[in-house]
Amino acid sequence: MQPQAISQIGNLVPLVLIFVIFYFMLIRPQRKKEKEQQKMLKGLNKNDEVVTSNGIHGTIVNVKEKTITLRIDDNVKIELERNCVAYIKKPQHPVA
User: What is the average per-residue pLDDT within 49-63?
Assistant: 95
- Decide if 54 contacts 39 (C-beta within 8 A): no
Q: Is the pLDDT of residue 93 over 60?
A: no
- pTM value? 0.69
User: Is residue 12 very low, low, confident or very high in pLDDT (cuts 50, 70, 90)?
Assistant: confident
Residue with more model confidence, 11 or 55:
55
- Decide if 81 contacts 66 (C-beta within 8 A): yes
Residue with more model confidence, 2 or 6:
6
- Decide if 88 contacts 42 (C-beta within 8 A): no
Rounded Cα distance, 48 and 43, in Å: 10
Q: Is the pLDDT of residue 26 over 80?
A: yes
Instruction: Report the chain's C-alpha Rg in angstroms.
Output: 23
User: What is the average per-residue pLDDT within 63-89?
Assistant: 95
- Decide if 44 contacts 50 (C-beta within 8 A): yes
Question: Tell me, what's the pLDDT at 2?
Answer: 61
